[in-house]
Each structure stands twice: as structure tokens, then as C-alpha cells.
A and B are shown apart, each in its own frame.
Chain A
């Protein structure tokens, strides 16, 4: 029997031919489902295209419309704000919560495994189901969250029925003014804050990575610091945090990418509308609606490319700054 297997010494072309059956399926997918769509989207972003007639070049009209809507607070501007708000609030909070949970879950107490399982469990709940549950939990009248807030004497928020924003000082001062006038007023927790709360419930994925990284921190570091008289807070600040910094960086980059792409939960809580009053119209939902509800493929393509360039720029900036705060000698990852 003759062997046709090319050996590593075989000619370059022969080696490519030998590798093709293995990487072929992926290569087809890469060309047809990534490279071609990527280029087509770029081309269509300079066209008027409604699927019914062929794409018609219109120059930079779509981008001009985006710029216009961004500056005048049109729908695209609103979508950029909603997306930025969600990312700016959910990502730092998920890092803070993920690190804190990992630290307390690394304490060697009885039932540690049970605690870990209970806190991780929500992150396996499918997004569709989680969105249904949180819509109920955040119901302003009947939901558990406002009930819990009322037990500690707080008025609760309007959540998915409210356009208010907890990051917006004006919404807080309006609430305070109403209280001073003796009126009842909900806290300025609105629809986007509800989405953030929901995302924090699923922080378990990141927490597991923090836990693994904590397990890799050499014990001697803590022992040496303790001998030098460092208290728990200083040990956390000068040992734990630097050793976790590669994971924090990973969480930051992945968290932003995931936050920018968030779609399913937003679609469910707003029934695909992005409401109330556009307060949950995030970029991915606006893009989906522009493309498949309004058949405005050119405008949607221009938005897709703008989004892509934005994500790329943010990631590049993060990688650049990471040199100053991410320790790479630490946990072997």
C-alpha cells in the first residue's frame, strides 16, 4: 500500500493541500460568512438598499444622516447614548461585584461549594427566561425589588416603565424636589438601570474566572505582607488587585464587547420596541429594526460599520492603557 500522506518535509503546496480538508470547512465559513459580509456591508453602507430593488450608490448620505442624528439627538444619537450608558454602568459594576464575590467565596468556610454554586447558578439561566423573570421582579407595583426597597424605607423605582436614569443628576434633583414639596416620587431608577441590574445577576461567569485566578496567587506573598505588618485592606490593594489585573482587563474588554452587542434581553423587556420612549433602544436593536423592520439596509450597514470602528477604537485604547496597570508576571494564564 502506498502512502500519500505528505510529511512535514513535503513541498509547501503539498502541505497546503494536505491541510485543506481539515481547515476547509472553517475557511469556507470565514470567506462566505465573515469576509464577504464584511465587505458587502461596507459597500452597502454607501448605498440606498431596500431589498426590493438593487443597491443604488448614494455616496456618504447614510453616514451624514448618522452624524446628523448623533448631533441633533435623533434616534441614532439616542441609541449611542443608551448603549454607552448600559456599558458604562454595567461593566465597572460587574468587575467590582465579580472581584468582591470571588474574594468572599474564596474564604474557607463551611458550605463554600454550596455558596459558589448558588451564586453561579443565575448565570446559566437562559437570557430569554431571565428577562421574563426580571420583568416581573422589577414590576413597580408588584415586583420583589421595589418591595425589598420599601422594607428599608425607600420608595423604589419605575424600572422598565420609566425613562429615568440613575446616572443623571437632573433625575435625582427632580426626585428630591418632589420629596421636599411633600410629594411621593419614585427613585430615578429606569429601564436601563433595570437592564444593568439584570446583567449583574449573571456575573457568575466572570466570578468563576476571578476565583480561578485567586487560587493561583502564591500564598507566600500574603505571608510576607502579613509579616511586614500589612492589614487586610493593604494586602487586597497591593497583592490581590495587581494579581487579578489580567482577569480584570479580560473582563473589561469582553464586558464592553458583550454590553455593546446586548440584544436579546433588551428585545424581550421592550417587546422589540426599545421603549418606553426609546429609553432601551440600544444600538443593536436600532440596527435590527432599521434593517429588518424598515428595510433600510444602507443606513443599517453604515451603523454596523460605525459600531465596528467604535468597538475597535475602544479595544485599541484599552490595550494601550493596559500596559500601565495590568501585571503579567502574576497568575499564569
Chain B
């Protein structure tokens, strides 16, 4: 795309668009710092009259924030571990081992990516309830130990780029399949594993439908669901709602800036994780 040098005015549409896309975030942060009175009397003034940092304390203390946070972190850690475990194993089985039926099963797995969640929701719920996992984070973590088509596909594509000679040499040296997997594939696949871990962490942090379906006890709620409960209870106190939303969003934004490269590469090479 590096043709003629762009016009000096090219900056104008860029500034405009960047402004429009950033405005909601700026509004979110600034409104979260306004007093109740200012929001009621003068909602359109951009800056807070007095910067009400206390809103953040009020938001955190008017819900069991630390408990929600703890649950969110447990959920994220558990599901990242589960996903890394099940998906890297399956990706190895689908890329570096030859066995009858492999291509058929792989095709079936890919087609499950297009399956709307509605079709499996009800029996899945009853099954996990039968296992005694209703009202437990386990209902959300256990399935991650049983693989996810998108992540298996992503890891398989990466495993396929690792030279076959390396694997062959290890096998000739007496390395078992486990050895090849553990000593060669995993160490060489750190970037792909990081992408998977990052995406799964974010998916678990953001998940709302899962907790809504499986959790009934507020003590077990992760932040995404706890925030929604807070929103429906305090729908008039916009500043507190937005302060709580900022606290919920901030870790993901920080993570994005820390792992920007992993992030963009993951999306650009594999499409969007829905």
C-alpha cells in the first residue's frame, strides 16, 4: 500500500475516526469521576467539576468486589490450565500422529466451531447439574479440560510448522510420543501457547452467559456476573456503575498493552474468537 505519499490532510479523517472510537472510553472514565449532583444537574459537561475518586471506593464497597475478583481469577486460572492441557494434547494428536479416522474426526471438530451454542445448551446444563456442578465454578472450568475446537485448530496449525526432521530425530533417539510432545513440541510452541492462554483468560474473564446459567449463590459470582447484578441494583447511580465497569475493564486493557503483539498476531492469523 506504500504508493504516493499520502496527502497532508489524510490526518483529518484519522483524527475524526479515532475521536469517535475513543469518546465512549473517555466518557466512561470521566463520568465515573463526577459527583452525583453534577450528573443530575449538568450531564453534558465534559470534565468532572470536582474529581470524585471516592466513587471508586464506593463502588468497590457497595458490592463484594474482592470476592468477585477472587472468583474471576480462580475461573481464569482454572480454565487457562484446562485449555492448555486439553488443547495442546489434542493438537498434537491431530498434527503429529497418524491414525485411522483422524481426518474424519478433525473435520467433525472443525464443524463444531459453526455450531450455535443454543443447540447444546440445555442437555449440557442438565448433564453438568447431574455431575453436582450446579452453582460451582467447576461447571465452567470442567469443559475447558475437554478441549475447544478453535484453540485445538490454532495449536495444530502451529505444530505443523515445526520441522518434521526434528520430530523424527527425537524418535530415532528413542524419544516416546510423550517425550516428543513434552520436550520438543511444547517448548517450541511457546508463542502459540501464549496466544491460547491469553484468549482463554479473556474469554473466561468476560464470560457472562456461563455464570448466569450455572451460578445462583452470589458468593460464587465472578466479576462479569457480579457487575451485572450491581448494575441492575444501582441503575440510577451512573457514576458508580461506570467506576465498577472501569475496574472490570482495566485488567483487560492492561493485558492488551502488555501482550499487544501476541494479541494482534493471534487475531490476524486465526480470525476472531467468537
Contact = CB atoms under 8 A, between A and B. Distances in A.
A44 B246 CA distance: 43
B94 A23 contact: yes
B249 interface: yes
A257 B252 contact: no
Interface string A177-219: 0000000000000000000000001000110110110110101
B213 A30 contact: no
Nearest to B28: A133
Contacts of B70: none
Interface footprint category on A: 35 or more
Contacts of B118: 261, 283-284, 287, 303-304, 307-308
B25 interface: yes
A25 B245 contact: no
A255 to B, nearest CB: 9
A267 B17 contact: no
Contact of B112 (A22, A34, A214, A261): A34
Interface footprint category on B: 35 or more
Contact of B27 (A133, A301, A312): A133
Interface string A290-324: 01100001001101110110011001000000000
Interface in B221-274: 224, 227-228, 231-232, 238, 241-242, 245-246, 248-249, 252-253, 256, 260, 263-264, 267-269, 271-272, 274
B127 interface: yes
A296 to B, nearest CB: 11
B4 to A, nearest CB: 8
Interface string A32-53: 1110111011001000000100
B44 interface: yes
A185 B243 CA distance: 33
B119 A307 contact: yes
A62 to B, nearest CB: 13
B3 A222 contact: yes
A85 B238 CA distance: 29
B146 A29 contact: yes
Contacts of A305: 119
B104 interface: no
B260 to A, nearest CB: 8
Interface in A6-37: 7-8, 12, 15-16, 18-19, 21-30, 32-34, 36-37
A23 B115 contact: no
Given A33-B146, A107-B14, A308 B231 contact: no
Given A104-B17, A209-B271, A226-B3, A3 B224 contact: no
Interface string B71-95: 0000000000000011101101110
Nearest to A150: B44
A121 B249 CA distance: 11
A124 B259 CA distance: 12
Contact of A292 (B23, B152, B213): B213
B227 A132 contact: yes
A99 to B, nearest CB: 13
Interface in A205-248: 205-206, 208-209, 211-212, 214-215, 217, 219, 222-223, 226
Interface string B12-31: 01100110011111011001
A5 interface: yes
Contacts, number: 276
A315 B114 contact: yes
Contacts of A122: 21, 24-25
Contact of B114 (A125, A257, A263): A257
Given A107-B14, A133-B245, A304-B122, A21 B89 contact: yes
Contact of B93 (A23, A38, A147): A23
A277 interface: no
B174 interface: yes
Nearest to B267: A208
B205 interface: yes
B161 interface: no
A137 interface: yes
B212 interface: yes
A214 to B, nearest CB: 6
A15 B123 contact: no
Given A36-B123, A125-B252, A15 B21 contact: no
B11 A26 contact: no
B208 interface: yes
A267 B238 contact: no
Contacts of B232: 271
A6 to B, nearest CB: 8
A21 B97 CA distance: 12
Interface string B135-156: 0000000010111000010000
A205 B272 contact: yes
B85 A25 contact: yes
Interface of B: 1-3, 5-6, 10-11, 13-14, 17-18, 21-25, 27-28, 31, 39, 43-44, 85-87, 89-90, 92-94, 97-102, 105, 108-109, 112, 114-127, 143, 145-147, 152, 171, 174, 176-177, 181, 202, 205-206, 208-209, 212-213, 224, 227-228, 231-232, 238, 241-242, 245-246, 248-249, 252-253, 256, 260, 263-264, 267-269, 271-272, 274
5 contacts: A22-B92, A26-B89, A104-B13, A271-B232, A305-B119
CB-CB nearest 6 A-B residue pairs: A29-B146, A26-B147, A22-B93, A37-B123, A37-B120, A142-B43
